[in-house]
Structure 1
Amino acid sequence: MIDLIASRLGYERRADDEPSWTALTPGVGYLAGLSARAAENLSTVLACTNAISTALASVPALVYRRNADGDRIEATSHPLNRIVRTGVSQRMSWVDFLEHWIASAVLTGNGLAVIERGRNGQLAGFRYVPWGMATVSELSSGRLAYDVSDGRGHTHRYLEGEVAHLRDRTDDGKIGRSRLSRAADTVTGVQAANSHANAFLANGAAPSGWIEVPGTMKPEQRTSLRDTFQSGHGGAGNAGKTLILDGGMKWQASQISPEDAELLETRRFGVEEIARLFAVPPPIIGDYTHNTFTNSETAGRWFATFCLSPWAKKVEAEFARSVFPANGPYELELDLSGFLRGDPETRWNAHKIAIETGVLDPDEVRQAEGWNPRGDNSANLRTSDQEANLPLENEGGANG
């Protein structure tokens, strides 16, 4: 009966075994047996998430307009430029918003934000929505409806075009699936190694052993000896204390060390495993095991090319789909050129060749380096849409 009523109202019941829809359960985020928040207890997960989200939030966000000839002109008067400068709301800056939005997508596979517009339809800001506070339904029309809780018992429904939904790779084309859920065994294995290390430290950070007692002990004597020994010598705080035995008792160490158990090597390999899931080079997150002075710069460019660039394209594509008018001339670009630059000597040699061959002029080189023009070539610089006398179109959404 419930299914019948729901179908008449335009809802579709989803199979419970679809992983992408199972990930909608509030507070779960992925299927590795941990919540997304608990996953960040693994330092490598936290470091990878911060590296991706913070790096993308810190790069310049530029709005361009394509004219009839297909040339791009920076649209400095677009409302999004004001939002980038002043913040998405009174309580959140653009950098904080982008960092939260992308981090949510990295951890749970989905980042959600409500698009706020003024009475005239122009873009006014964004409101970040934690993924655990949203419930997604598919309407009979095939569109998605997002029911967002305000945490005080009230729920508001938004349709596609009213939210910006950043997805990691999906299984059904609708809801993203976290990379942590796709490699659940890897994540739980790393967590098990960390739990084993924590237990090892909690029990004294020293090899375990046994006490030999001449004769036979009564059960209550065994319990008393075990409790006395544990209270005086168990735990990291009691490591190194002098042990005194009497009555002919002898201590025998088990001769097992962390190195013998390959615990340290296992944990080190766990860092590489999780970094591999996020396509983050280990030196970026502080693992310098295989790092040298010659490959550190290459790791930074690799990070920008194979990790940041795909996420930047996802962000730009979602803005084109949901924020800007459908088939409109505007587009967002997250400028990663700062990450992709080579060392100063290589970069300036390239600038020199570009000037000598006429590809660039000195003022364009200064602009590429972030400096103001110096000379008579300022006409070659990017011109704003105001200077080009191009009108700013109404900022209706993709479906508005």
Structure 2
Amino acid sequence: MGMIDRLAAFAGFERRADTSPLDPSWQALAPMTGYFPGLSARAAENLSTVLACTSSIATALAYVPARVYRWEGETRLEHASHPLSRLIRYGCNSAMTWCDTIEHLVADTLLTGNGLLEIERSGNGQVSGLIYHPWGMVTVQELPSGRLRYDIGDGKGNTRRLIEGEAIHLRDRTNDGKIGVSRLSRSADTVTGVDLANRHARQFLANGANPSGVIEHPGTMTAEQRTALREQFQSRHEGAVNSGRALILDGGLQWKVAQISPEDAELLETRRFGVEEIARLFQVPPPIIGDYTHNTFTNSETAGRWFATFCLAPWARKIEAEFSRSLFPSGSPYELELDLSGFLRGDPETRWNAHKIALEAGVLDADEVRQVEGWNPRTGTGERPDA
């Protein structure tokens, strides 16, 4: 990597493979929104809805239980002594826990379309650590073999090189099957519209908001009269301490309350709709990110289950598949599972009614129900099965 490439990587620029000329995630928005082409998509988090959606998905997937299982014939057993299980329990490296690592990986993928973890291995080839690298510091090249090469800058002019098999590359939907493209850039017009509405509102407030009312005079006032009236009005009626004071006018003066203009009302509706638009991009129900415009106590629970089923579950499956592909050899009996049952099983009454039906139908026994709830079995040793 040359000096220019290293400086660009330090600044957060991305270089794509020559055979895959994709724009960086936020680059499509640069001409209209003022964001510089190629810079990190973290700029998108200036939009509160983008930040809320990213945080909701990333933190939810980071906190759900993760377990490694091994298949023995038709039986699947939890493998608590697997090296990956130890990373899940004790941390992926000296600086980051499993939750931190997954949260960063997913957030990067949501914002840029790609997330990268370096795989550290011990002398016997077993995974011994996972290192998160911001995608803005990664340069990707396609080798003649078709495999990808990842050059990772450290911000100090140094570069490390990884190839497939040495990294976990989580990606959003791609155009070429290799480099992910974020949904922010795929829906650039939508996100640009929301950004421009926010900028307009910010400039409106910065340059002066509408007055609460106006005082009308039937004739023409001198400059001295206007100044005296303004100072008298401000001293008696401006500020919270003067709220509610009676207003006395004479000499034909009239007070008229200023109403919000149709244009300003339309701006407010546009900003509200912008929240729904971005939430739709990430497939996050608005109540999950704090938009309760159309919310009730009834549909909030439904929104949580919808969030788990149609948003979290597909991402969980992508993570499981990518970890299995990158960490476990082909044909390996091991697999990673992110347990979303806490989202899917609903409230305690619904959950225990489901357990009752399963017991009565003979689908589960009492110890299996206790295991689902995270409790030790009554009839066993109290230890989880291991191999």
TM-score by length of 1: 0.77
Report the alpha carbon displacement of residue 360 of structure 1 after superposing the two structures with TM: 1.1
Using the alignment, how far apart are the partners of 2:369 and 2:103 within structure 1? 30
Match for residue 146 of structure 1 among 150, 165, 180: 150
The 5 Å alignment of 1:88-107 reads 88-107=92-111
Using the alignment, how far apart are the partners of 1:206 and 1:72 within structure 2? 69
Match for residue 114 of structure 1 among 113, 118, 129: 118
> 2:11 maps to which residue?
none
The 5 Å alignment of 1:37-48 reads 37-48=42-53
Structure 1: 4+ residue segments shifted above 4 A = 28-33, 237-241, 251-256
- 1:383 is matched by which residue type in structure 2? P
Using the alignment, how far apart are the partners of 2:17 and 2:262 within structure 1? 53
Report the alpha carbon displacement of residue 22 of structure 1 after superposing the two structures with TM: 2.3
- 1:301 is matched by which residue type in structure 2? R
> 2:7 maps to which residue?
none
Using the alignment, how far apart are the partners of 1:12 and 1:298 within structure 2? 43
Matched-pair identity in %: 65
Using the alignment, how far apart are the partners of 1:205 and 1:101 within structure 2? 44
Distance 1:253 1:341, change over 3 A: closer
> 1:193 maps to which residue?
197
Using the alignment, how far apart are the partners of 2:213 and 2:198 within structure 1? 19
Q: State whether structure 2 residue 301 is matched by structure 1 residue 278.
A: no
Q: State whether structure 2 residue 369 is matched by structure 1 residue 365.
A: yes
Report the alpha carbon displacement of residue 14 of structure 1 after superposing the two structures with TM: 3.0
Q: Are 2:211 and 2:258, in contact at CA under 8 Å, matched by a contact in 1?
A: no
Q: Are 1:164 and 1:319, in contact at CA under 8 Å, matched by a contact in 2?
A: yes
The superposition leaves residues 51-102 of structure 1 with CA deviations (integer Å, 9 ceiling, x where unpaired) of 00000000001001112x2321111110011101111111111110110000
The superposition leaves residues 22-71 of structure 1 with CA deviations (integer Å, 9 ceiling, x where unpaired) of 218xxx5764654512210111000000000000000001001112x232
If each structure's helix is expressed as a fraction of its own residues, which one has the higher value?
A: 2
SS in 2 for 1:22: coil
The superposition leaves residues 332-360 of structure 1 with CA deviations (integer Å, 9 ceiling, x where unpaired) of 00000100012222221221121122211
Match for residue 297 of structure 1 among 285, 295, 301: 301
Q: Are 1:23 and 1:31, in contact at CA under 8 Å, matched by a contact in 2?
A: no
Using the alignment, how far apart are the partners of 2:279 and 2:302 within structure 1? 16
The 5 Å alignment of 1:77-88 reads 77-88=81-92
Using the alignment, how far apart are the partners of 1:304 and 1:13 within structure 2? 38
> 2:179 maps to which residue?
175
Distance 1:347 1:46, change over 3 A: same
Match for residue 53 of structure 1 among 45, 58, 79: 58
Using the alignment, how far apart are the partners of 1:324 and 1:42 within structure 2? 38
Match for residue 138 of structure 2 among 134, 139, 156: 134
Q: Are 2:114 and 2:135, in contact at CA under 8 Å, matched by a contact in 1?
A: yes
- 1:182 is matched by which residue type in structure 2? R
Distance 1:238 1:172, change over 3 A: farther
The superposition leaves residues 349-396 of structure 1 with CA deviations (integer Å, 9 ceiling, x where unpaired) of 2211211222111111111112222246x69x96211xxxxxxxxxxx
SS in 1 for 2:337: strand
- 2:205 is matched by which residue type in structure 1? L
Q: Are 1:107 and 1:178, in contact at CA under 8 Å, matched by a contact in 2?
A: yes
TM-score by length of 2: 0.80
SS in 2 for 1:40: helix
Match for residue 18 of structure 2 among 13, 28, 38: 13
Provide the aligned length of Structure 1 versus Structure 2.
348
Using the alignment, how far apart are the partners of 1:90 and 1:329 within structure 2? 29
Q: Are 2:17 and 2:140, in contact at CA under 8 Å, matched by a contact in 1?
A: no
Using the alignment, how far apart are the partners of 2:293 and 2:189 within structure 1? 24
Using the alignment, how far apart are the partners of 1:135 and 1:208 within structure 2? 57
Distance 1:204 1:315, change over 3 A: same
Using the alignment, how far apart are the partners of 1:192 and 1:12 within structure 2? 32
Q: State whether structure 2 residue 314 is matched by structure 1 residue 314.
A: no
What is the root-mean-square deviation of aligned Cα atoms in Å? 3.5
Using the alignment, how far apart are the partners of 2:17 and 2:311 within structure 1? 35
Using the alignment, how far apart are the partners of 1:147 and 1:360 within structure 2? 50
Q: Are 2:29 and 2:192, in contact at CA under 8 Å, matched by a contact in 1?
A: no
Distance 1:118 1:262, change over 3 A: same
Report the alpha carbon displacement of residue 205 of structure 1 after superposing the two structures with TM: 4.7
SS in 1 for 2:106: helix
SS in 1 for 2:298: coil
Report the alpha carbon displacement of residue 197 of structure 1 after superposing the two structures with TM: 1.3
SS in 2 for 1:111: strand
Using the alignment, how far apart are the partners of 1:157 and 1:74 within structure 2? 34
Using the alignment, how far apart are the partners of 1:342 and 1:208 within structure 2? 51
